[in-house]
């Protein structure tokens, strides 16, 4: 019986020693990442090292993980340039148009969430944004544009002046206001330029995707002037 107790004790001592050695080895690896050790603690002492490791978990919990709901940290910053132009008889305030276009393109709720910046230039930019008289819309594309709506053709975005001044029955009937409509139409057409096609309402009462044709039919969705999280991509990036 005495030999059995002695062997058991020796085995327990061997296991405990192995645990201590493994703990010290782990400490030597993780010490550079921990600021938890007490200034008065002897860093060469096993008890101090164990105490540091036990407190390391609390320190690691204080390190927040980056958000993936708006992953601008994953993307390089890109700057696009654009110019403003008109076509036809324009009665809208062009100073207001220019300001609202720039505000919309760079709003924190919009396509800037892709880590984009849009800067206006006099000419020669990546795209041109027109405010056009309704009767001039088809001059940009007989098939892609109509006198009723706004459109995008290549590197040209064309905002229909009638829509800019009065929105649409669908939008107004859904409780939308004119300022939000202007945000929406600029974001929608810019979405086409960024590589998006049209989408549909995902279900009654849901926010409409920015790439839904909200000017024509809300399809049961709520008016929405900004791109959804699921729309934050571009073939141009």
Same domain, 22 and 87: no
Residues 26, 79, single domain; the answer is no
**Residues 86 and 6 grouped into a single domain:** no
**The pLDDT of residue 3:** 47
Can you list the positions of beta strands (E) in 88-176?
116-120, 127-132, 151-153, 156-160
Check residue 58 and give its pLDDT.
60
Same domain, 16 and 89: no
Given this model, what pLDDT does residue 66 score? 53
Give the total residue count for the chain: 237
Strand, helix or coil at 71?
Answer: coil
Residues 116 and 193 in one domain: yes
Considering the domain boundaries, does residue 226 fall inside one?
yes
Whether residue 97 sits in one domain with residue 1: no
Alpha carbon distance 131, 28 (integer Å): 66
Residue 63 lies in a domain: no
Does the residue 236 lie in any domain?
no
Contact (Cβ atoms closer than 8 angstroms) between residue 205 and residue 165: no
Residue 77 sits in the same domain as residue 161: yes
pLDDT per residue over 105-123, tens digit each?
999 999 999 999 999 999 9
Residue 62 included in any domain:
no
Residues 6+ apart with CB under 8 A from 194: 111, 234, 235, 236
For residues 100 and 174, membership in a common domain is answered with yes
Strands (E), the chain: 78-87, 116-120, 127-132, 151-153, 156-160
Residue 58 falls inside a structural domain: no
Say which CATH number the domain at 178 has: 3.40.390
pLDDT for residue 100: 98
Taking the C-alpha atoms of residue 42 and residue 35, their distance in angstroms, rounded to an integer, is 14
Rg of the chain over Cα atoms, rounded to whole angstroms, equals 31
Residue 172 CB neighbour total at 10 angstroms: 14
Residues of the chain with pLDDT under 50: 2-9, 15-16, 19, 24, 26-27, 30, 33-37
Does residue 237 form part of some domain? no
164 part of a folded domain: yes
Domain count, the chain: 2
In the block, residue with structure tokens 């050790």: 37
Q: What's the pLDDT score for residue 166?
A: 98
Helical H segments across 174-236, by residue range: 178-193
Domain that holds residue 19: 1-32+45-51
Residue 37 lies inside a defined structural domain of this protein:
no
The pLDDT value recorded for residue 216 is 98
Same domain, 106 and 195: yes
DSSP 85: E
Residues 116 and 188 grouped into a single domain: yes
Are 78 and 184 in the same domain? yes
Give 181-203 pLDDT, tens digit per residue: 999 999 999 999 999 999 999 99
Provide the pLDDT for residue 50. Answer: 56
């Amino acid at each position: 019986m005495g030999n059995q107790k002695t062997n058991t004790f020796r085995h327990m001592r061997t296991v405990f020693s192995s645990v201590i050695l493994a703990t010290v080895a782990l400490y030597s690896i993780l010490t550079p990442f921990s600021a938890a050790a007490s200034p008065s603690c002897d860093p060469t002492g096993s008890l101090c090292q164990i105490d540091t490791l036990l407190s390391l978990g609390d320190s690691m919990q204080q390190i927040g993980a980056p958000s993936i709901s708006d992953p601008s940290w994953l993307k390089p910053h890109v700057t696009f340039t654009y110019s403003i132009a008109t076509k036809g008889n324009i009665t809208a305030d062009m100073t207001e148009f220019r300001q609202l276009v720039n505000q919309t393109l760079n709003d924190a709720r919009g396509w800037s969430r892709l880590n984009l910046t849009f800067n206006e230039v006099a000419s020669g930019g990546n795209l041109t944004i027109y405010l056009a008289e309704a009767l001039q819309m088809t001059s940009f594309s007989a098939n892609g544009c109509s006198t009723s709506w706004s459109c995008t053709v290549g590197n040209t975005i064309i905002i229909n002046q009638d829509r800019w001044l009065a929105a649409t029955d669908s939008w107004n009937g859904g409780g939308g206001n004119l300022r939000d409509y202007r945000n929406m139409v600029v974001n929608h057409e810019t979405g086409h330029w960024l590589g998006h096609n049209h989408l549909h309402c995902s279900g009654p009462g849901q926010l409409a995707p920015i790439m839904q044709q909200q000017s024509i039919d809300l399809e049961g969705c709520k008016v929405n002037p900004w791109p959804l999280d699921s729309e934050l991509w571009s073939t141009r990036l």
